[in-house]
Chains A and B, each alone.
Chain A
Amino acid sequence: MLNLLYGPFLYIAVAVFVIGMIVRVVLYINGLSQKLDRIAYKPKMGIGLKGAFHSIIKWMIPGGTRAWRINPFMTAVFFMFHIGMVLLPFFLLQHAVVIEYMFGISLPALPGALADILSVVALLGFFGLVYRRFAVPAAKALTTKQDWLVLALAGLPLITGIMFRFSTSGYEFWEFAHILTAEIFLIAAPFTKLSHIVLFFMTRAQIGMDYAIKRGGQNRGPAFPW
């Protein structure tokens, strides 16, 4: 079974993820319309792209926007979780080895201690995000079953990965569980809210373009005061 998970299943999962995400991006961009959105995307591409870039960068910096600054708990757990979730799949030594072996792409690896810290920090961030859904009234009121599903899809590979790394016995089980949940994550991503992995950049770019092209960029410049 483990052979299948390390072999064909992994290729399938990665293929679904990559192709699925590309399709999501292409469909998103194709669906934008100057007429329907009332934004001159093409005629004002220059200032639009500057606005898009600014809109993405500001939100990727903790405290870069007012919303991050006035929500310190959310900001903390959000970045704790996401930094680990973005870096570890590629740059954890064990992952880099698998990626090189399976795909022939060699990536630099994080020092083991740093990777351990990132994974534990991400886990704390994950629990923080779970906690918010119980404790913050607005988040609690909005949360649906789907949100829990998405949290589970994202959390399981992290939790099982940490167990695999730190468990002293039964690590075969954790290895199996980690690879399985990671592959489920990859396959589910394009079809669930996990598509935000790429669509975050799309929606942020779009609203950045909107404010830069149409809603005041000519007066305040492309950098909207997020």
Chain B
Amino acid sequence: MPEGIFCKRAPLTTEEEVKHLLSDKGGKQYYAEMENLEVDVDMLRKDLEETCKSRTRTWLEVCAHCGMCAESCFLYTANNNDPKQIPSYKIQHTLGELIRRKGNVDTKFMIHCMDVAWSQCTTCNRCSMYCPYGIDTGVMMSYLRGLLFKQGFVPWELKIGSGMHRVYGAQMDVTSEDFVDTCEWMVEENEEQWPGLEIPIDKEDADIMYVINAREVKHYPNDLAEAAILFHIAGENWTMPSVGWDSTSLTMYAGDWEGCKMNVERIYDAVKRLRPKTIVATECGHAFRATTIEGPYWAGLESGEAPVRFMHYVEWVAEALKSGKLKIDPEKRIKTPITLQDSCNYIRNYGLSEATRTIMSYIATDFHEMENNREHNYCCGGGGGFNGIGRYRTERNIGLKPKLQQIQATGCNLVVAPCHNCWDAIRDMKEVYEEEAKDLEWSFIKPLLLQMVIVPDHLKPQEDAE
């Protein structure tokens, strides 16, 4: 049987298709059908010929099997040094084999590739720092995901996620109207305490266009309010686009390159339309990678750079603290031991480690680094889509262990995690490792700042005249 009712090769492009696949709870039938999904061998061979060039082929060919990548991978150590979790092993037995067989593989092999690509690699890229040749298995796993997606071998949640982006322009079923309504709601909720608070939508020529993660609208609208209040206190001239407000990219996790291009172009179009001076993107790692690091290439920009400066939220906060736009009440700084989770996507892969340390120096008096930090930090355990895939929940839970141990070794109970994925992973640690993680607290930067920022008098609610 070539394709099933739920498991098809093509991406989801209509609301009906998304809802239909959602109705197969947990993807039970979807995965069952996948076992009969035929591989389009001709297409696979052609894709390999056209897109797999010297960088990847040389990486796979020269790998000396020295094993230095093994311990760089948190999934190797988390799984008791299982040889099958060595980055070199993982890629040689999937993509390496695909290339050697010129795409002539069967369904079983493709499902094996899917399991490895999504449950044994979070594309954190740490191994690239420990290989004498600089072989980046994360980059290759990403490439492999693209080949798999095109053939229909992709985890259920990510197939849906990619469809959501294509249908709603956001990673969840949040429409432009829902988004604008939520913004209005958050302003209403907070305007009593914050007179003059606004979330300006589609304002042209603002200094900042703020883009977010759809989860903030759907599940954590307070995050949106906090961002608005902090821009308000800092006196920023800012806006949010009614279309192109979600900067996330489950399409990137899914290997849906066509969808990635559509996502980032939606945001670049908003930039064109509203002409902001800069973009600030919320506390999310992969969204930043998708719009700022990989995005320009998907959009075909020759310079490799986004059309205007994209700042991660931590850059905006660091600059606002340094310039005095945001002032901290020294009395209210965090005095208990506190540590920081470095997000792979914008620390290792974008070099923003100074910005987060600047923030820590302003908000905390007893900051402790994790043992492996900055570019050398480990993935939270749930990156690259790992957090969200039911099929790999057990594997993900094992993957959380190294980060938990790393946090515990700092002696801190509070972790700042300025990334949605890291934040989720740390939250889940508390659930999964109840006993060990019972004292663990975790937070984005925004709520911490709001506890200690000095509010200028003119922004405080006016007392009624006598």
Contacts and interface: CB of A to CB of B under 8 A. Distances in A.
Interface of A: 27-40, 43-44, 55, 59, 65-67, 70-71, 74, 78, 132, 136-144, 147, 150, 193, 195-196, 199-200, 202-204, 206-208, 210, 213-220, 224-226
B395 interface: no
Contacts of A137: 67, 81, 83
Contacts of B81: 137-138
A22 B347 CA distance: 37
B5 interface: no
Contacts of B300: 35
A204 B134 contact: yes
A133 to B, nearest CB: 8
A220 B302 CA distance: 22
A43 B351 contact: no
A136 B67 contact: yes
B65 interface: yes
Interface of B: 51, 53-55, 57-59, 61-62, 64-68, 70-72, 76, 81, 83, 86, 88-89, 92, 128-136, 293-294, 297-298, 300, 302-305, 348-354, 374-376
A46 B83 CA distance: 40
A138 B298 CA distance: 36
Contacts of B72: 67
Contacts of A217: 351
A178 B98 CA distance: 39
Nearest to B372: A66
Interface centre among B55, B62, B353 (most CB of A within 10 A): B55
Given A213-B304, A215-B350, A203 B59 contact: yes
B294 A31 contact: no
A34 to B, nearest CB: 7
Contact of B376 (A39, A66, A203): A66
7 contacts: A31-B57, A36-B51, A39-B304, A55-B134, A204-B132, A218-B351, A224-B375
Contact of A193 (B61, B71, B350): B61
Nearest to B130: A67
Contacts of A143: 65
A204 to B, nearest CB: 5
Contacts of B130: 66-67
